[in-house]
Structure formats: structure tokens, C-alpha cells
Structure 1
Amino acid sequence: MADLFDNDPASKTPEGGKDAPRPLADRLRPQSLSEVIGQEQVLGPDAPLGTMLAAGSLGSLIFWGPPGVGKTTVARLLAQETDLHFVQISAIFTGVPELRKVFEAARHRRSNGQGTLLFVDEIHRFNKAQQDGFLPHMEDGTILLVGATTENPSFELNAAVLSRSQVLVLTRLTLADLERLAQRAEKELDRPLPLTGEAREALLEMADGDGRALLNLIEQIFAWKIDVKLDVDGLSTRLMKRAAIYDKSGDEHYNLISALHKSVRGSDPDAALYWLARMLTGGEDPRYLARRVTRMAVEDIGLADPQAHRVCLDAWETYERLGSPEGELALAQAVTYLALAPKSNAAYVAYKTAMAAAKKTGSEPPPKHILNAPTQLMEEQGYGAGYAYDHDAPDGFSGQNYFPDGVKRGIYYVPVERGFERELKKRVDYFARLRSKRVD
């Protein structure tokens, strides 16, 4: 299989000798690691790659990050820095026969004294068996593997591949990074962008942290025949904002629902509404959000505000009746209510503690005095004997034991001094005092 990357500029010249137009992103591709914009957490002198290169010991790597942040570029430059032959393949288009050819060529190269850096784009798209196929060639030094993935490697890559590689996280480019990239494009094209200051900021926002997307947008702008600077409205009518990255079944799905849940728990209605809006604009199913918001009510608010649960169920039903887009407003109101409600996970903790105790004590039966005795045999066995009917007690409380005989009484529910649970705490303490008197 032929290598998919070639440093020879002549390879970009078609038959006839005339240079073909090159995209701006290709023209601005960094020629050294020092020219890479962003990713200091990976490339800095004390960062993982900087340390490896300084020590002259580069190991197999997995680059994890969103599109357009430089994964391919950094891999290519690593090969250049370490004098390794660079081979690039994509898991989408490469099958087992092509992989065999790649490994065979790498073995031949190695026998001639040159190593191979094999860059595998979208490596998570290889199945587990295909990923296993890399292991012997990594272990004997035939290839140095650099994989790139937009998905969480913990879920998508074999443990064996991960154990032989270091995972490096590449992040979205900041607005400052994108501005540097825009300035580099202006220098390459020898003219400024025809945008007002506010429109320039809007352009950087449109790229959404993706350097390649920004350069594509800039290339479109420079192709326009305009004599005046465009303002934000003029730019927006000509360009569409890059669609936000959101995979409803992938890592971003779980990242954003986690952000929404923790914003509610942290009593921040503005942040909670922001993350709700992010998920809705990304195409999330409102019914999923309704279910998760209801879970927040029972997990993080609980009996501190028993009404919160009802608010969520009403919002869920309202969405089912109204549909989109009006129904989403009910979900927004529920999220706002939850964020501002008093918080308590006392009932949630009590439930988990009780579940652990139930598993530990196994099949211990209830004490006989609280068992019904519908037959004479059961009466003879002592079922129901000694049961104290609470309504007959002067204060409506018998204080009897309801745990299994021989099982120490557990204290699971510990209400907090917030919201309605203040009142519940008074009741818990009241019954605890009465129970103590009955025992005494």
C-alpha cells in the first residue's frame, strides 16, 4: 500500500507541470513543532512530548481530541523530528489486506535501518481484533504507533493497546489560538480580513475551536469580491456557524449531561440553563432530558423540597402534550426550579446504605411480633405475639423494634438542616427520643 503522506512538493504538481491550487489549511501546515499553535500541555518543554523528544525516547501514542486541533500535523512533525518514515492510514478506509502491506513495508524499512511512524486516523473505528493486530508490530519495534481518536480511548480501544501507549489529550483551540491562526493566514495571503473588530470576533466564535474550520471560513471570505469591511450581520448572512460537536451516544453526550447535573446540584440556574440549551441545540431527545432532570430531583433535592419531584413530572407531561419547541420551555422551568431548590441527598444516601445492609444480612426474617398470623399454626409459632398497635399508644408511637432479631438497628436517614428536611429532622429526632424512653 502506498504511503498517504509525501514530503516531496513535486507530488502536488499534476501532469503538465502546472501547480494545482492548494487549500489554505494545507499551505499553512506547520513545518516544525515550534510552529504548531496551541497544545502547550502536550508540546511544551516540560510536557509529555517535549520530555520524550528531549530524552530521544518516543513511545507509541494515542492522540485524543476533537477535529481540527492538530492531531495529524503533530504526528507528521514527530516523524520528522525523530527521522522516522511517516505512514498515514485511516481506519475508515483500511482493511486487513492493506494493513498487512503496511506492516510488511515497515519490516522491510526496518531491515534497512529506518523506523516507521504509523499514524492511524480514527483508530477507534478498528474493531478489537484489528486493534490486536498492531500489538506484535509495536512490541518488536516494527512500527511506532500514533493513533488519533475523537472518542474516549478508555471505552473504544483495547486495554492491550492502551497499556503499550500513552494517551495525550489535545484540546479545542482557544480564541487566542484562533486569532494567531487568522493572523498567519493574513500574512500568507498578504492582506487583512475585510471584517470589523466585532465581526472578526464572531468569525473566531464560528470556528468553535477548530483550526481547520477557521481556515476554511477565512478562505471563503477572501474569495468574496467586497470593497468594505463586513459587520457581524453582514458576516452572518454570508457564513453559517460551524455545527457544534455533539454525539448523542458518545463522549460529549455524557460530558454535557454531567455538566447539567452538576450545575443543578451547585445551585447555578444560569449554568444549568446553558447546558440544557447546549444539549437541545445539539439534537438531544427532550424526553431523555426530562428523565434525567427528574432523577436530579430525587437524587440531589429529595425531601428538602418534595415538590421538586412533582415539578419535574409536570414538566415532562407538559412536553408530551405540547411537543417541540414549546414543550422545552417546561423543561427549562423545571431545571431553573431544581437549581434554586434546597439540596439534600439524605434520602439517596439512606437508600444506598439500606441496600448495602439488606445485602449483608441476607435472608433474616422480620421479628415475629410484626408478622401476621392468619392460621392457628402460625399463632402457635408466635407470629404476632406481643405486637403493640401504635394507635393505642398515648402518643401514637409504640417504639417497638422492626429490624430482624439479632440485627443491630441501623440509622440510614440523616436529614439535613435545609428546606423541608428541617421539619423532617425535627420528626426524626422526636421519634428517636421517644424510642429511647421506650427502650429504657
Structure 2
Amino acid sequence: MMIDHYGGRHTTESQPAVAAFEEAVGCLALHRPGVPEAIAKALAADPGLVAGHALRGLASVILARAECVDAARQDHARAVTLLGIGKQASDDERALVSALGKALQGCLLAAADALDSVVAERPTAFLLLKLSHALRFMAGDLGGMLATTRRSLPAWVDGRPGAGFVYGCHAFGLEEAGALDEAERFGVRAAALEPGDAWALHAVAHVHETRMRIDEGAAWLERSRPHWADCNNFRFHLSWHLALFELERGRAERVLALYDADVRPTPTDDFRDVANAASLLWRLAQEGVPVGDRWSELASIARRRTQDVTLVFASLHHLLSLVGAGARTEALALAESLRAAQGDQADVVRQVGADVARVILDLGGDGVIARAAQRLPLLGGSHAQRDVFLRTLALAAADRGDRAGYEAVLACRSGLRREDRFASLAAERLARAEAALQRRVA
């Protein structure tokens, strides 16, 4: 049994394999490139490194694309074979393989539970905690995300490898739960311990945005840019946050410049990058800002994903891209494909996904808007990411003159942030719609 730098337990005798695996975990924690290469190096040193196969599979599942899930099945099969040939596996290895198997069935929450079963007994199992946090974030289990870090926190001290990253995860869970003062304290503490912890920097940026501290939020991200500029595609997301601050300032040209240079500098097919781009363009369009032909490349990606409903959160952002580009036929086809979602995501479609799609497509329906607003957290992602859908629901209600639906959405939204520029825009739209209805009645 060998124990890596972050407390992971491996049944291997290969120090080079463990060293390479430590490198992979470090890159994962820092949101830096190099995870696949480090895992490949670890498996080259020891093809029987169970955690290497399992982590590669889980990293593929988190990409939420059908072809990546297919690749993860091969990693799972290899890991299961290794466990079945008499290998005396560690609890960490068994939990990772179990989590991968459940995630491949579309059961992200069950996968997180498998990881947490070890974290509950050994709270310093850093990789398992970090992966549980990521899976619960994707699955919309904000309460579970915070519960895991809260239970584990007493075991962590500042000098332990990974402590800063755990504090960053805890900060984010606190922010999403509305505990903003505590979230900011933990986020700042995490960044002090691990200046390159982009997730902690991100958590503090969320606090600033929620409180509408626009200047402070933009300054926080700009000051820390040297620490996140070398991130993997997570740097696009932090640039997205910068763009949101600029949008709140009313600087549309600056937002578009950030979009081109930092949010969408390359046309990737990663759903997180697409979500950044589509949601930002959608917000700009809602505020009447011309975005040129920027929808076209997003729509080309979305057309390839009309049958891929691995993650409803991703599918709804592809739907925004198709509607934004005027590709209504493909948009309707994607909305229809949501019925094929499996595992946890099938429930997400039933509970909220189908309703949100109807509103995006302007298909009407009684009670859809208020119901969707209340259930929106089930989509996964953060409050800031889902706000594009809350804004869409609010404007749909406003344009229909549906005051009850509008107030239901605004009640959900006001509980998440202080009043912003959009609130005034929505109120003006509702007033115009109500005035038009009164004129028709008269």
C-alpha cells in the first residue's frame, strides 16, 4: 500500500506511478491542463493502477458528452477487471470504481454517495471529496455539496496538503447556500493558502456578484488573473464572470471584446465553454445588444448535439444557441430529444428541463413559468449560471403580461442576489405588456 501526497491510498509498488498520479490530482485541484497526460504517465508506470483508470473514467464522465462516456466505459471495465483478479484494493480504489460505475449509469448523486462513504470515515481523502463536490455540483445537489465539506472540515488543518482546496470547495458551497460572509472568509483563506486555487477565487467572485459589488468583483478577478490565466478552460469561465461584471456596468462593447478574446477565444465543444458563451450572448440579446454572427459557430456545435442529452444543463445551453441562431427546426428536435435522458437526468427533464425548454421555445403552457423557476436548481450548475434561465422565465412572463408568473420568478431571483439592471428591464417589459392588454380590453 502506498499513500500519495494528497492522502490517496494505492495498492501498487510503483513510486513513479504514484508520483504521476499525484501530479494528476494536483492539476485537477488547480484546474490546470495536464490531467490526462499525468494519468497516462501513471498507467505507463503501472498499468494496474486502479485509481488511474477510475479517475480517467470519471474525468471523462464529467465532460458530459456521449463519446466521452463511451470512453469511460473502457476505463471502468479495466478497473473492474483489476479488482476481480484478486487485487487487494484500498477503500479509495473501490470507492472510485464504484462511483465511476454509478456515474456511467447516469446516477451522479449515487456516484457522489459512493465517494462520500469513504470521506465520512476518512475526511482527509482529498481526491474523493473533490470529485464528490464536482458531481454534486453537476447534479444540482447544492445542499449535499455543502454537507460533505462541512462534515469533513474539522479534520483539515492549514498545513495538510489539499487543505486550501477543501476550503475553496467549502467557500463555494457556502456561497450557493447564501452564507455569504462565511463564504468570503473561507474563499479568501483558501486563496491565501493556495493562490492558484481558481475554484476559491471563483467562489469569492460569486460572493461579489451576489452582493452586486461590481467594482470589487472585477478588481478581485483582475488582481488574481496571474494565478488563473494558465488554467485549463476554467479560465474562460472566470473571464465570463468578468464579462458579467461589465454587463452590469452597461459596457456592452467591453463585454463583446471579452467574449471574443477571453470567453470564447476558441470554438471548443466542452459544454462548460458553450454554456459560458451561449448564456452571455443570450443576456446581451435580452438587453437589445447586437451580437453579430457569433451565434453561428455555437449553433454548428449544437446541431451535432441534438441527440446527445447526457446532461440537461448542457442541452439547454445548446438550445439557447439554436434559438439564438434562428435554427428553430433543430431547436425543436433537441427539445424532443430530452425525453431520452437517462438516470438522474430523466428526472431532471420531468421536473424542470422540459418546462424550461418550452419557455425558451415560446411554446406556452399554464403554470410552466412559476414551476420552472422554483425547480431550477435541479438543473445543476451555480445560481449565476442558472440566472440566464431565470431571466428568460421572467421576460417570458413579463411579455405575456403574466404578473403572477413574473412575481414568482422575481421572488426566486431576489432571494439569490441584490437588485440589478435586469430587474428594471423586466419591470419595464411587464408594464408595457400590461398596458397593451388594457388597451385591447378597452
TM-score, length-scaled by structure 1? 0.31
Larger radius of gyration: 1
Greater percentage in strand: 1
